[in-house]
Every structure is written in C-alpha cells, then in structure tokens.
C-alpha cells in the first residue's frame, strides 16, 4: 500500500481521496476549507487531516492534486515544493494547461522527483463510483509506479505520451463533449418545436449512430429543464478556454468549440453558471 497525500477535496477530489483511503492506502488530506475536510471524514474518508499542505506532503510517496485551475496548482506547488520527499511522484488531476504541466515536470525532475499530468473524466458520478477515466502525460516509469495507486478511483488509465499530453488529451475530451451536448440540445429542441414525442424519438434513435452518453444519460433532464447536477458550465468554460488556448498555439482549427463556448457564455450571462453542461438546451428554448 502507498503513502499518499491528497490536496483538494472538492466535488471530484473528495470521493477520489475517499476511495484511495478505503482501498487501504495511507492517506493524508488537505483542503483550504476545513469544512470540506470534515465532510470528507463524514462521508467515509479514512486517514489523517493535515493543518497545511506542507505538512500533508512531508512523508508522501505520491502526492495528488485536484484543484481548480493553473493559478491554484502553481500556488500550492510553490508552497510544498521544498517539502516533497526525494523521489516523490506528484500526480496532478486538475484540468489545466499543458504548458504548466511541462513546467512542473521540469521542476520535479530537477529535485529528483517526478510529475504526471493526469486529468480525469467521468464527472461527479464517476468520482463517487470510482469509475473515472484518467489521461496521463509523463515518464513511463513514473506511470508504472503510480498506475496501481490511481486504480483506487479509476476504471481506465492511459499513458498518452510525454509530459503535457495528458492535459492535451483532456482538451480533446472536452472539445468532443461540447459538440455532442450542443447536438443533443438542438435535436431535442427541434423535436419539441415540431410536436414530436421526445421519449419515442430517443427510443428510436438512441440505439443507432446518433447514440451517445449525453443522449442516454441527459435527454430526460434536458427535456424537463433540470440542470442542477453534473459538470458545471463555469468549469466547462474554464476547460474550453484551456482547449482554445492550446488550439491557437498549435494552429488547430476548432470553430465549433469556439461557438459552443460562446453559447455557454450566454448561459452564464443569464446567471446559471452552476447549471450542468446540458443546460445548452435552455438557451435554445429561451431564444425561440
């Protein structure tokens, strides 16, 4: 069993750290808000709570981050850098930029440690059920050491390539999701405007080429106008910003992603940034 520190007990990080502790690993947790630490313990988390991030990582062989954005990762890393054990592997589950991943990889290697950028997909339900998909960038030897530990909360873990490529793969994931959600939203909106029974339409098309996870799991709540669960629009816009920035750097053409990003901006402007990503349909229904 591994000695781990888990920093960041949000919607995703809390259940991930809980699974890690329940699988027998020695886990120390830290979060800026002590209320989230108490909630983690109440939810079944088994481990120690540290008063500071520096204290949490001092004995850890594996240090997991699950934070908000690049500035959060940079700030926490700067705080703990001198306290990380020689040889410790930092696993960053935050969705962030490939540029920061490469920077932190270089800094860890300079201190005889290692770094994996390892963003996750699967949403809150995937985290709660220990069924996340992890896309990893970094060295094969570090991946081989960390992969059995990450199995505690994951169903699929893939080493994509060198440092930064895990984050780029997560951008691919978000680009694909954005297009699919908009397509499902437009299809359901079209069905309603043409007087079709949405349930019968979904029954007819969901077993064919049109089927998707979004269609199977979100169509009913989209039709009912319920958007109070799942991955929030605010976080999706953060992820799409990262993807669009990477597209500009690489010269990739992502016109649909840029358009859907603006549609999400419309949802935010209506005060619904905490709605889940399927709320794109609300924009269509409102505009009609």
Spatial separation of the C-alpha atoms in residues 181 and 28, rounded to whole Å: 37
Answer yes or no: 170 catalytic: yes
Among residues 46, 103, 109, 170, which one is catalytic?
170
Spatial separation of the C-alpha atoms in residues 15 and 45, rounded to whole Å: 8
Spatial separation of the C-alpha atoms in residues 54 and 81, rounded to whole Å: 8
In contact, 11 and 35? CB cutoff 8 Å: no
Spatial separation of the C-alpha atoms in residues 23 and 110, rounded to whole Å: 32
In contact, 77 and 19? CB cutoff 8 Å: no
Q: What is the dihedral of CA 7, 13, 16, 20, to 10 degrees?
A: 10
Q: What is the dihedral of CA 67, 70, 73, 79, to 10 degrees?
A: -140
Q: What are phi and psi of 49, to 5 degrees?
A: -110, 125
Spatial separation of the C-alpha atoms in residues 182 and 177, rounded to whole Å: 9
Q: H/E element holding 124? A: helix 123-128
Largest Cα–Cα distance in the chain?
A: 65
Pairing of strands 89-92, 114-117: parallel
The catalytic site residues sit at 170
């Amino acid at each position: 069993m591994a000695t781990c520190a888990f920093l960041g007990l949000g919607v995703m990080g809390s259940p991930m750290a809980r699974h890690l502790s329940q699988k027998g690993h020695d886990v120390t947790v830290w979060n800026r808000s002590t209320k989230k630490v108490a909630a983690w313990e109440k939810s079944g988390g088994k481990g120690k709570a540290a008063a500071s991030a520096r204290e949490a990582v001092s004995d850890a062989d594996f240090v997991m981050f699950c934070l908000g954005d690049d500035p959060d990762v940079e700030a926490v890393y700067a705080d703990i850098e001198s306290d990380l054990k020689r040889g410790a592997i930092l696993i960053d589950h935050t969705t962030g930029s490939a540029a920061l991943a490469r920077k932190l990889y270089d800094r860890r290697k300079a201190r005889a440690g290692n770094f994996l950028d390892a963003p996750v997909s699967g949403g809150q339900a995937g985290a709660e059920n220990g069924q996340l998909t992890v896309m990893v960038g970094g060295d094969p030897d570090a991946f081989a050491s960390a992969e059995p530990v990450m199995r505690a909360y994951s169903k699929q873990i893939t080493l994509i390539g060198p440092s930064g490529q895990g984050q780029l793969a997560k951008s691919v994931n978000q680009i694909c999701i954005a297009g699919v959600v908009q397509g499902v939203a437009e299809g359901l909106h079209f069905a309603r405007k043409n007087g079709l029974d949405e349930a019968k339409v979904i029954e007819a098309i969901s077993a064919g080429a049109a089927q998707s996870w979004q269609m199977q799991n979100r169509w009913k709540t989209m039709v009912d106008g319920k958007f109070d669960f799942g991955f929030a629009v605010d976080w999706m816009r953060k992820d799409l910003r990262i993807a669009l920035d990477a597209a500009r750097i690489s010269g990739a053409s992502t016109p649909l992603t840029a358009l859907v990003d603006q549609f999400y901006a419309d949802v935010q402007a209506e005060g619904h940034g905490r709605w889940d990503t399927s709320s794109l349909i609300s924009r269509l229904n409102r505009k009609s």
